[in-house]
Amino acid sequence: MFKKFLFFSFFMVCAVSQGQIGGKYTYQFLNLVTSPRQAALGGKVITIYDDDVNQAHFNPATINADMDNHLALNYGSYFGEVTYGTASYAYTYDRHLQTFQAGVNYVNYGNFEGYDENGLATSSFTGSEIAVNLGYSYNVPFTDLHIGASAKLISSTLESYNSFGGAFDIGALYIDERNDVNWALAIRNIGTQFSTYNGINEKLPLEIIVGVSQELENVPIRWHLTLENIQQWNISFSNPNRAQSSFSGDSINEKVSFFNNALRHVVMGVELFPRKAINLRIGYNFRRAEELRIEEQRNFSGISLGFGLKMNKLKFNYSYSRYTLAGNTSLFGLTVNFQ
């Protein structure tokens, strides 16, 4: 039943959605990957159900008692001087109340040199954004269905402009233990601005994600398939650098096919030895690969790699994500088990 619901939701939502998603919303930092494991698997994986407390950032339904007293800290250098990081902690107060999770996401955009309209230097400035969340998950009695919700408070400072907002995420996770398959649905960033930058209220980056993953029998591999941004079918854009010239000399914009646009919703990842002390991960993000592709030059955009290393009560994670020839990102994470 849950699988039919996911299938129906995907096609109904896509059927009524149109237009691109870039540049429309505020607080876009909420969509940054929150951990090296997420990044290495291509991003936005919502089906992982184990002791990884980082998973609550993208699907609160994954919060469970195995995360109890785990603290995760992650840090990464994005592009230029931009840095960002996350923290997540889970605590099981009572077995009947399930488990609570608290976390924080932040991004610092570095320093900028200020100039007036005449090109004269003024004072330098910076920008930063932060979100604090509290999440909770509940296992529906006598079922394999888990539902969860997470509330977020968001603060943003860009030069002399400030904004404050709130949002919440909701998620569902169905665990088919017989076939070792997880099905998940997450609706993220449902919220609004409480105060705006300059009096204009902007929308938050609402996103609907569905996913499925399976651990293969007798093979130490778990694969992940994620469909992102299914609330909007057309997420493509015509790259002006790929425009072609007609016989008359006119410029013809790039046409994105139905199949190409469909693939841009897809994120795939594979985790080797998911239950061992050493994990190897690889992912591929089709949308990133297509948007950052360079004509007649192979740059492997969209590929991500990573690993996890567990040592007693510590676990170290690392990921490397390929974006362009000029910029790629590494993300480092440390998880501590205080039990």
261 assigned to some structural domain: no
CATH number of the domain encompassing residue 313 = 2.40.160.60
98 assigned to some structural domain: yes
Residue tagged 């409480």 (tokens): 194
- Looking at residues 168-178, what average pLDDT do you find? 96
Q: How far is CA 143 from CA 51, 95, 176, in A?
A: 20, 17, 10
Q: How many domains, the chain? A: 1
Q: Are 203 and 25 in contact (CB under 8 A)?
A: yes
pTM of the predicted model as reported, rounded to 2 decimal places: 0.86
Torsion of CA 29, 31, 37, 43, to 10 degrees: -140
Measure the CA–CA gap between 228 and 78, rounded to whole angstroms: 21
Confidence of residue 17 (pLDDT cuts 50, 70, 90): very low
pLDDT at 18 over 50: no
The amino acid at 339: Q
Decide: helix, strand or coil at residue 133.
strand
pLDDT the model gives residue 79: 77
Helix, strand, coil % (nearest 5) of the chain? Answer: 15, 45, 40
Domain ranges, residue 170: 2-237+266-337
307 assigned to some structural domain: yes
pLDDT the model gives residue 53: 96
pLDDT at 323 over 90: no
251 assigned to some structural domain: no
Bridge partners for 227 per DSSP: 210, 266
82 assigned to some structural domain: yes
Bridge partners for 311 per DSSP: 314
One-character DSSP codes across 15-63: HT--S--TTS-S-GGGGS--SHHHHHTTS------SS-GGGGGT-GGG-
- Looking at residues 237-248, what average pLDDT do you find? 60
Tens of pLDDT, residue by residue over 283-314, are: 999 998 888 877 666 678 889 999 999 999 99
Residue 156: count other Cβ atoms within 10 Å of its Cβ: 21
Check residue 66 and report its DSSP letter. Answer: G
Least confident range of 10-14, 106-110, 133-137: 10-14
Residue tagged 């002399």 (tokens): 160
Taking the CA atoms of 107, 38, 45 and 322 in sequence, report the sign of the dihedral they define: positive
248 assigned to some structural domain: no
81 assigned to some structural domain: yes
255 assigned to some structural domain: no
Check residue 292 and give left, alpha or beta (phi > 0: left; psi -120 to 50: alpha).
alpha
Across the chain, mean pLDDT equals 87
Half-sphere exposure of 328 (CA within 13 A, CB side): 16
